[in-house]
Amino acid sequence: PSSFFEKYSLLKTGILIPFNMEPVPSPFSPSEFSAGHGPWTVDNRVRTRAGRTLLGGVWPGGGTTLRLEGGVPPGATALAHVPVPDAGLYLGAEVRKALAEAGVEVAGGVLRGTVLDAPAPRRLLYEHRTPLAEALAVMNERSHNLYAALLFKRAGAALTGRGSWASGERAVAEMLARRRLGDAGRTRIVDGSGLSLDNRVTAGLLAQCLASFDQDLLRGPVLEASLPVSGQTGTLQGRLGGPGLAGRVRAKTGTLNDVRVRSLCGYAAGPPGHPGYAFAIVLNGAGASHARIDELVAEIARAR
């Protein structure tokens, strides 16, 4: 749906462009930015304002204009990663820029076209494979919906030989069954990002799944290392960074604005000499907020 395209940037490519935001002295004035080249225009609505850094980008109207939104506090700098709507055009723009910097004169702009069938057999020049740990780190630290969708289908392909929403759903169901985490068919995961309103899962099952992976010496460390760290990295860089909390929580955030859902699932280190905890908090409705979740996580981290 077009609403998902705008709000969550569910695009056809996994390429991300970085935007460095620099605050300006005047409050509520547009912050300055620098970014990679591309065949689009930028509508910069990021403002210099008090509070925590909050940055994002959407592509309203089909991906010809990038709208940057959010705020940067005075004296701070921030980096935002925004997915690219057309990887081919972006690559062409970068190649054109590199040629120009090397002194090669390039006429015209970057266009999308069709490559005619060559008479000679085609030869694969290079194949890139991303290790799972690296893909998980991008997915979890940046809350990257496309990576989640692709890994979901990749799990389905590993199980059935064909990656699809249906095979991904089956792969998740079989994983839960192998770990004896089934709940009589009440759980249903139909996408990798959690954006679909057809997903059904309880906080209890999520916590049990995290606890199961914590006991998995092969896969558990890979999962935990991919999660944002409180007050330090990813989507938790600006959260849970107070005394006694910074660096002690690794967790994945979750947000659905249309139906007001807020969640946080992961691991909290216990006080010295005490074990840590696997936790999952899912709040629905008007009272759901990240602030309330952070209060609950702080209580968990202090528990003995």
Paired with 79 in beta bridges are 20
Does residue 98 or residue 304 have the better pLDDT?
98
Which residue, 73, 78, 67, is CA-closest to 47? Answer: 73
Whole-number mean pLDDT of the chain? Answer: 82
User: pTM to 2 decimals?
Assistant: 0.70
Does residue 279 or residue 270 have the better pLDDT?
279
> Which tokens hold the place of 15?
């390429």
CA–CA–CA angle 266, 174, 222 (5° rounding): 35
> Which tokens hold the place of 42?
């930028």
Q: Among 100-114, 227-241, 267-281, where is mean pLDDT lowest?
A: 100-114
Does residue 20 or residue 79 have the better pLDDT?
79
- For residues 190 and 269, what is the distance between their CA atoms, to the nearest angstrom? 31
- Whether pLDDT at 80 is above 90: no
Give me the mean pLDDT over the 35-40 stretch: 59
Which pLDDT score, from 0 to 100, does residue 94 have? 81
Spatial contact of 265 and 253, defined as CB atoms under 8 Å apart: no
DSSP letter string, 191-244: SSSS--TT-B--HHHHHHHHHHHHT-TTTHHHHHHHS-BTTTSGGGTTSS-STT
Give me the mean pLDDT over the 94-120 stretch: 81
Report the percentage of the chain scoring pLDDT > 90: 46
Confidence of residue 109 (pLDDT cuts 50, 70, 90): confident
pLDDT tens digits, 251-275: 999 999 888 999 999 999 988 888 8
